[in-house]
Structure 1
Amino acid sequence: MPQTFISFENASIRKFDKIVLHHINWTIRTDQNWAIIGENGSGKTTLTEAVMNRCIVAEGKIRFDFLQSGQFVKDSIELVPRDYSANRILQSAAQYYQQRFNADDAQNSPTVREFLTDQMKPIGTIDENSVRLPPPSCTEEELQEVSKILRISHLLDRKIMTLSNGETRRTLITKSLLKRPKMIILDTPFMGIDADGRKLLHEAINHIAETGIQILLITSPEEIPDCITDIISLKDGFAEISEKKEKKDLSEHKTNTFEIDHTLMEHEPATDFEYAVRMRHVSVSYGQKKVLQDINWEVKRGERWALLGPNGSGKSTLLSLINADNPQSYANNFDLFDRKRGTGESIWDIKSRIGFVSPELHLYFTKRTEVYKAVASGLFNTNGLFQALKPGQRELAESYLKLLKIDHLSEKRFSEISTGEQRLVLLARALVKNPPLLVLDEPCQGLDHSKMEYFKAIVEAVCESLDKTLIFVTHYAEEIPNCVDKVLRLDNGVGEIGTLR
């Protein structure tokens, strides 16, 4: 007989100084697995925090019916983190977003096995005998069993900081599963994962549900696993509940057309180049692993390229060479903006001409700054703002926030806005200096459908009206702007050039 697991009774949830969710009436039974859907900023993450008993209930109540005397919510419900920031040792190991491209630094991180079994020693430990570790948090049999579900058995002896985004996501889910919770909460787990990886993750989530662990999943209407029985949809802080079979496409399909304000482009840097990128037999290896193999690629000024390939195919490494984040740049033969790399140009000379967004930049971006300062930091290519703005620079940052329809967030702290809103702020940061080359690595990651379509329209307008050069990375074909007509496909570090349309 199904029992009530958690119930919201006319609950209004406060976060910071604002009521985010209003009058929620919602019952989670023990025979249900739920998906939470909604636009960016609708309160999805706040709802999961309320399920974890981490929010202030301003009105009404939340009942945790599964709790027995002496039990705590955190012992029964496991929220899978998006990154390693919640782990003190891993956070000290993951010091900066370029670290995965610096082989020596990446090798300082713990292995996947050490992370999953809580056998990590503090970074910088010199005397191995000086650190007394607790017993492993799971047996080898348990580790192998759960690792097999997420298909990471072959990664157990890899260093954490060398994993791809998809591998990292599966590792974090494995860590949570090893705690054997009653419920597991997954916040946008399919974000940044290639098609094969998403299929694998669907299968894994269904398998988890079959073991009796309940699923609560923040996702898009297009990515709902078979095990999900019910859906709660959020809009403007209010909830609508439906069974999965009643689910409708909640995406707003509309055409976004607008004109670019050319006054935003008056600060354009010099664009006197013929080729943004010219690579000649470029290869990158880490130890015995060949990440890029004999890449020959030319990106002419004004061309728009898609860079495609599965997780771990070498896309991020290739972009790290272009964005001056990889020390192996100097061991290779390629030009950026018609100048051979390693002939006296500074990293900042290169970065000043590139507008850049990536999942790594998002992960490591400082969270305690105001939104307008985060955008303005793009003028200086810094992770946060560390100097006084000159006259007109704040207004310039505000104008790009307005362009992306997020100017109402200007004075909020980066940490106070939703993940999707943070991504839009970083997009504004990439555009603010009006660079000749846009390198957008999964820029729509975390955006709802309407905001994704709007951003595509912005990219198309900027590229076509101002003759911008574009390199665009995604795992979703529908995210690629219509102006993109060339493609470099990577698979196991090998490149193949073709046309997209």
Structure 2
Amino acid sequence: MEYQGINFKDVSISINDHAVLHGINIDLEKGKSYAIMGPAGSGKTSLLKAIAGKLFPKNGKINKVGSIEFVPSDYKFHRFVGAVYQYYQQRYHAHDSELGPTLYEVLQNQVKPMGTIDDRSVELDDPLYDEAHLLNIATSFKIDHLLDRKITSLSTGETRRSLLARSILKQPDFLLLDNPYVGLDKESRMLLNEILSNQVDVSIVLVCGKNDLPAFIDDVIYLKSGAISEEGSLENEEVKIDPALVEKLAFNSQWDFETIVSFNSAKVTYNGEYALKDFSWTVRKGERWALMGPNGSGKSTVISLITADNPQAYRNDIVLFDQKRGTGESIWDIKKKMGFVSAELQLYCEKDIPVWKLVASGLFDTAGLYQELKDSELQTVFNYIRLIGIQDIAERPFNHLSNGEQRLVFLARALVKNPPLLILDEPCQGLDYNQMVHFRELLNQIVVAFDKTLIYVTHYEEEIPACVDKRIDLSEGSVLKIANV
């Protein structure tokens, strides 16, 4: 039987003259599954992209026998639907979502051109797959009931399973997954593990953290600084935070509010279905909240109302920073009072500017830096860069960083203007365990020192900083419980 596998022999890879991998020797056998682990910036995603043929060796040789399917780390449909998805992805506008493509149309490559009015005027290629094959895969990935749904209406977990099903439909020998568990609640992670463990005809190679390492993995490849490492080198290190720098940055804010956020029986509907129903919640100055709930429970909708990104805010009784929403304030008046981190924000920022400029853009709530900084502003930017521990990459272009490094940059960006409210929507996505602990402890000291109001969204209990003393749990768009921690 012909050998099927992937072999790296003394492979080194650089991206724009920056070495990301060196001296890599691995042998991935068909029929086995592998995990790639290591600190942020160690080269995990670069190795996965090299296996997929997205990066090419500067030195050494890569031999591949067998088909390979690569699912990128953003787990969004825009890569496959293109301009049509960009047009329909306005998730807060019900009219647009009614016109978007269905999951079935995407999987079968039956997406109509943007703006199609008469379906009879469009000649599409034949469906890619036999109906029975499609239904079988859809059932195994537990998305068969979603085939007629618009892709813009799918939850994070549903989208993740749908994209994996799209790849499995191609019947690859190797399926490459970059952090597939990121952003999923506990139940969704368990379901994904169950589904992946049942894929007996495909070898899975995935990047993950040690807390998400699935039982079906046969071997683990550890990386550190772009090279193969021993497992022992990944042991936790003591978190060291510079107290003098924290104290220096903990200046008194000019903001003074009593009620930061207040919802009174808020509701949000899309296509007649409730995303939020009879939702009441008040966040007062200095309170630190954990916002919890499974995928699809309404957390993102709540955050979109607070950040002024959801137009349905005007239909509701909402108070932000002591002012009733819709009484003359602008979106930018609201945004300048909050520091915000989310995975989607990272997707749509300017990609090729230096790290320090992206951090500085947080002072002005822009996607890039479009004005000259005052000396005091520049000093503040670099103080936060040192606080987060990213001074070594401050001059590098953002798109040359690993996923974990990029997330640290956005954490600094959220803090840099010292806003009265911090909203951190799964801020530790893409970070290894040590960096998660470092940021959690760092954030805890900053929030306490600044007397900051915090809303922290996560699926992982261990990520919640010690300063958090209140918790709200959502379920199906309603409050499940509110409790002190």
Identify whether the pair has TM-score above 0.5, normalized to the shorter chain: yes
Tell me the amino acid that sits aligned with residue 18 of structure 2.
Answer: K
- The answer to whether residue 481 in structure 2 is matched with residue 489 in structure 1 is no
Q: Is the 8 A contact 1:90 1:109 kept in 2?
A: no
For 2:445 and 2:346, the matched residues in 1 are separated by 24
1:49 and 2:49 aligned: yes
Which of 224, 245, 264 is residue 213 of structure 2 equivalent to?
224
Distance across 2 between alignment mates of 1:333 and 1:369: 40
Following TM superposition, by how much is the alpha carbon of 1:337 offset from its aligned partner in structure 2, in angstroms?
0.8
Secondary structure in 1 matching 2:91: helix
Q: Is the 8 A contact 1:83 1:363 kept in 2?
A: no
Cross-structure match for 1:234: 223
What's the offset of the Cα at 1:371? Answer: 1.5
- Deviation, structure 1 residue 255: 4.2
- Name the residue aligned to 1:71: none
CA contact (8 A) 1:256 1:453 kept: no
Q: For residues 275-314 of structure 1, what are the alpha-carbon distances to aligned partners after superposition, in whole Å with 9 as ceiling and x for unaligned?
A: 1011111111112211111111111100000000000000
User: Which residue of structure 1 lines up, in the alignment, with residue 264 of structure 2?
Assistant: 280
How far 1:165 moved relative to its partner? 1.8
Q: Given the alignment, which residue of 86, 91, 96 partners 1:105?
A: 96
Q: Which residue of the partner structure matches residue 330 of structure 2?
A: 346
Amino acid paired to 2:321:
F
Rounded to whole Å, the distance in 2 between the matches of 1:251 and 1:160 is 41
Q: Decide whether the 8 Å contact of 1:420 with 1:447 is kept in 2.
A: yes
Contact 1:34/1:217 (<8 A) preserved: yes
Choose which of 193, 198, 216 in structure 2 pairs with 1:202: 193
- Counterparts of 1:15 and 1:350, CA distance in 2: 39
Q: Tell me, what secondary structure is at the counterpart of 1:167?
A: helix
Cα-to-partner distance string for 1:227-280 (whole Å, 9 max, x where unaligned): 210110001111147xxxxx77944153444424344355x6532211101111
> Which of 145, 149, 157 is residue 154 of structure 1 equivalent to?
145
| Separation of aligned partners in 1, 2:399 and 2:334 | 29
**1:140 to 1:316, Cα distance in 2 relative to 1, 3 A:** same
8 Å contact kept, 1:89–1:123 = no
Alpha-carbon distance between aligned partners in 2 of 1:273 and 1:173, rounded to the nearest angstrom: 46
**What is the TM-score with the length of structure 2 in the denominator?**
0.94
- Of the three residues 326, 337, 340, the one matched with 1:356 is 340
C-alpha distance in 1 between matches for 2:23 and 2:273:
54
Residue identity opposite 2:79 in structure 1: N
Aligned in 2, Cα 1:500/1:169: closer, same or farther, shift over 3 Å? Answer: farther
2:163 is equivalent to residue 172 of structure 1: yes
CA contact (8 A) 2:473 2:480 kept: yes
Separation of aligned partners in 2, 1:104 and 1:357: 28
Distance in 2, Cα, partners of 1:188 & 1:393: 35
Partner residue, 1:72: none
Partner of 2:174: 183
What SS does the aligned partner of 1:273 have? coil
**What is the one-letter code of the residue matched to 1:28?**
L
Which residue is 1:79 aligned to?
Answer: 70
Instruction: Tell me which residue corresponds to 1:308.
Output: 292
In the alignment, is the contact (CA less than 8 A) between 1:277 and 1:335 conserved in 2?
yes
For 2:414, which of 425, 430, 434 is the aligned residue?
430
Residue by residue over 1:115-141, the C-alpha shift from the partner in whole angstroms, topping out at 9 and shown as x without a partner, is: 111111222234534432111111221
1:264 aligns to 2:249 (yes or no): yes
3-state SS of 1:367 partner? coil
* Distance of 2:172 and 2:464 partners within structure 1: 39
Does the 8 Å contact 2:266/2:316 carry over to 1? Answer: yes
Decide which moves more: 249-258 or 220-229: 249-258
Q: 1:119: which partner in 2?
A: 110
- Gap change, CA 1:125 and 1:214, over 3 Å in 2: same
CA 279–453 in structure 1, closer or farther in 2 if over 3 Å, else same: same
Secondary structure class of the residue paired with 1:100: coil
1:1-35 deviation digits (Å, cap 9, x = unpaired): 79451111122222221221121111112232111
Distance in 1 of aligned mates of 2:36 and 2:250: 39
Q: Which moved more, 1:362-371 or 1:188-197?
A: 362-371
SS in 2 for 1:87: helix
| SS of 2:422 mapped into structure 1 | strand
Measure the CA separation in 1 of the matches of 2:307 and 2:400: 29
Residue of structure 1 equivalent to 2:365: 381
Question: What is the CA–CA distance in structure 2 between the aligned matches of 1:394 and 1:410, rounded to whole Å?
Answer: 12
**Is the contact made by 1:110 and 1:160 (CA closer than 8 Å) also made in structure 2?**
yes
Q: Is the 8 A contact 1:2 1:30 kept in 2?
A: no
Q: SS in structure 1 opposite 2:436? A: helix
1:13-59 deviation per Cα after TM superposition (whole angstroms, max 9, x unaligned): 22221221121111112232111001101001111111122323222
* 1:378–1:430 Cα contact (<8 Å) kept: yes
AA aligned opposite 1:401 = I
- Between stretches 460-469 and 80-89, larger displacement belongs to 80-89
| Contact kept? 2:68, 2:176, Cα under 8 Å | yes
Q: Distance in 1 between matches of 2:81 and 2:425?
A: 28
Does 1:192 find its partner at 2:176? no
Contact 1:486 1:499 (8 Å CA) reproduced: yes
Equivalent in the alignment of 1:329 = 313
CA contact (8 A) 2:31 2:202 kept: no
Q: What is the distance in 2 between the residues matched to 1:412 and 1:434? A: 24
Matched, 1:61 2:61: yes
Q: For 2:233 and 2:11, how far apart are their aligned partners in 1? A: 27
2:82 matched to 1:93?
no
Cα pair distance change 1:474/1:435, threshold 3 Å: same
Look up the match of 1:20: 20
Which residue of 441, 446, 459 corresponds with 1:462? 446
Amino acid at match of 2:94: A
CA distance in 2, matches of 1:250, 1:106: 45
Q: Is contact 2:286–2:452 with CA below 8 Å preserved after alignment?
A: yes
**Percent identity between the two aligned chains:** 45
Cα 1:128–1:228 change in 2 (3 A) is same
C-alpha spacing 1:249/1:304, structure 2 compared with 1 (3 Å): farther
- TM-score, length-normalised on structure 1? 0.91
Q: Is the 8 A contact 2:355 2:395 kept in 1?
A: yes
Query: Structure 2 counterpart of 1:40, which letter?
Result: A
Amino acid at match of 2:246: D
Aligned 8 A contact 2:39 2:234 in 1: no
Equivalent position amino acid for 1:283 in 2? K
Deviation at 1:386, TM superposition (A): 3.1
Greater mean alpha carbon deviation, residues 192-201 or residues 285-294: 285-294
Instruction: Sort the Cα spacing of 1:161 and 1:473 in 2 relative to 1 into closer, same or farther, 3 A.
Output: same
RMSD: 2.1
Match of 2:33 in 1: 33
> Hey, what's the Cα distance between the residues in 2 that align with 1:471 and 1:2?
55
8 Å CA contact 1:323, 1:351 repeated in 2: yes
Describe the shift of the 1:434–1:165 C-alpha distance in structure 2 as closer, same or farther (beyond 3 A).
same
Q: Tell me, yes or no, if the aligned pair for 1:2 and 1:31 is still in contact at 8 Å.
A: no
Query: 3-state SS of the aligned residue for 1:392?
Result: helix
Contact 2:84–2:114 (CA<8 Å) still a contact in 1? yes
Segments of 5+ residues of structure 1 without an aligned counterpart are 68-75, 242-246
